[in-house]
Structure 1
Amino acid sequence: MTSNIAESLNSILRDEREYPVAAIFNSIAHRFGEIFRKRYTEVDNSKTTFMPIAEMILRENMTEGDKLYVNNINRSTKKFTVLGYGHTAKVNLSRRSCSYRKYDLVKLPCAHAMAALRLKNGDEYGTSISNYSSQIYSKESYLLAYLEPICAASLELEWNVAGEYLEM
C-alpha cells in the first residue's frame, strides 16, 4: 500500500531489468496484454450491466440510500429533499445532481439519489438505475477499453544518434 507505481513495476520486472530496452518493452506489453485479456474475459462472462467497481459502488449506495428519508413536498418527479444522519441533501434526478456533489462528479447515483429513485419508482427502482448512471461505467464501454491489442516493439530496430530507427 505504501509503494508507488514505479516500485510496483520494478518488482514485476525484476528479472527483465538486465535485458535490452526493446525486450523490456515487449515484456511489459506481454504482461499487460495478459492482464487485459483476463479482465476482458471476466467482465464479458459476467451478467452485470456495469463494470465490477461500478456495480459495487451502486450496491453500497443502494444500501445506504435505503436508510435515508426522502421528502417531496411539491410532488415533483425530479426534485427531492433527502434527510439522514443529521444532514439534508437536494437531489435533482433530471440534472443527475446532488447538493453533496458526489453524484455530479462520479456520475453514478449516490446514496441520496438512490433514496430519491426509491421514492420515485418504488421498490423496483433498481431497474431504473442504469437510466441515471453514466454509460462510461457500462459493461460495453469497459470491454471496448480492453479490446485493442497491445503491440510489442520489434527487436530488429535500433536507434541511431539522430533519434531515428535503424533496421538491423
Structure 2
Amino acid sequence: MCDWANRIEYSLWTQYCDEGRRFGNMTMNISECVNSILKGVRNLPVCSLVKATYGRLAELFVRKGREAEAQQGTGQQFSQHLVKSIEANLKTARCFTVILYDRDNSEYIVVETTSTGSFSLSSYRVSLGAQTCDCGYFQALHFPCPHALACCAYSRVTWHSYVHPVYRLSSIFSVYWMGFTPPIPEGF
C-alpha cells in the first residue's frame, strides 16, 4: 500500500505538500478511506487483517471500476459528485450580479444580490484565467464555485474547461483499472 501511495503525487494526498489545494474530500483524507476499509477487522491477527484488507480492496476496486465504466459508457464526462456540486452552485449563481472588468484576462466582480445562506451579501473578485475567487472555493476544490459559474454564464463560456482533470471519469476509471490476483488458498 505504501508503494501505491508513494506513486501518487504528494500534493494530491498529503496536506503538507498540497499548497492549499485539497480537491474536497476526494483525495485529502486518505487515512479515513483506509480506516473505512479496515472497519470491523482491526482486532484480527495480522495475517487475517492483511487478507481481509486485500479482499475488501479488491471488492472496492471492482465495484468502483464498474461504476466509473458504466458512467463513461453513458457518455458522462465528470463524476456524479462533481455534477451534483455544479448543479447546486448553478442554483446559487442565479442570485449574483456580474461585472466584467478585464475581458482579456477574464477578471470579474461578482456581487451577491440575495443572501444564499452559504455566502454573505458581499462582492468577490473572480479571475477565470487564474481560476481564483475571493471565496477560496475555486482554488481549493479546483472546480468553479458559484461566483465563477456566474462569470461563465455572463460570458457565455462553458464551465468544463475550469474543472481539474481529477474529476473526469477517465481519471477516476484509471484509478480502478488495477486488478487483484486472487489469494492462494490456505493449505497449499
Q: TM-score, normalised by structure 2?
A: 0.66
- Pair 1:145–1:64, CA change in 2 (3 A): same
Shift of 1:89: 0.6
- For the residues of structure 2 that align with 1:7 and 1:40, how far apart are their CA atoms? 18
Q: Secondary structure at the match of 2:150?
A: helix
Q: Distance in 2 between matches of 1:10 and 1:93?
A: 42
Give 3-state SS (helix, strand or coil) of 1:72's partner. Answer: strand
Q: Of 19, 31, 44, which residue of structure 1 is paired with 2:56?
A: 31
Fraction of identical pairs, as percent: 18
The TM-score normalised by the length of structure 1 is 0.73
* SS across alignment from 2:66: helix
Partner AA of 2:38 in structure 1: L
Aligned residues: 145
Q: What's the offset of the Cα at 1:150?
A: 4.1
Answer yes or no: is the 8 Å Cα contact 1:90–1:98 preserved in 2: yes
Q: Determine helix, strand or coil for the equivalent of 1:36.
A: helix
Q: Which runs of 5+ in 1 are unaligned?
A: 157-167
Distance of 1:21 and 1:153 partners within structure 2: 16
**Partner residue in 1 for 2:154:** 119
Does the residue aligned with 1:141 lie in a helix, a strand or coil? helix
Matched, 1:57 2:92: no
Matching residue of 2:106: 78
Deviation, structure 1 residue 8: 7.2
Amino acid in the other structure paired with 2:59: E
CA distance in 2, matches of 1:77, 1:131: 15
> How big is the shift at 1:10?
3.8
The one-letter code matched in structure 2 to 1:138 is R
Closer/same/farther in 2, CA of residues 7 and 59 from structure 1, 3 Å limit: closer
Partner of 2:159, secondary structure, is helix
**Change in CA separation of 1:99 and 1:6 when aligned onto 2, cut-off 3 Å:** closer
1:6 Cα offset (Å): 4.9
Select the residue among 96, 105, 123 that pairs with 1:68. 96
Give the unaligned 5+ runs of structure 2: 1-31, 116-120
- How far is the alpha carbon of 1:21 from its aligned partner? 2.5
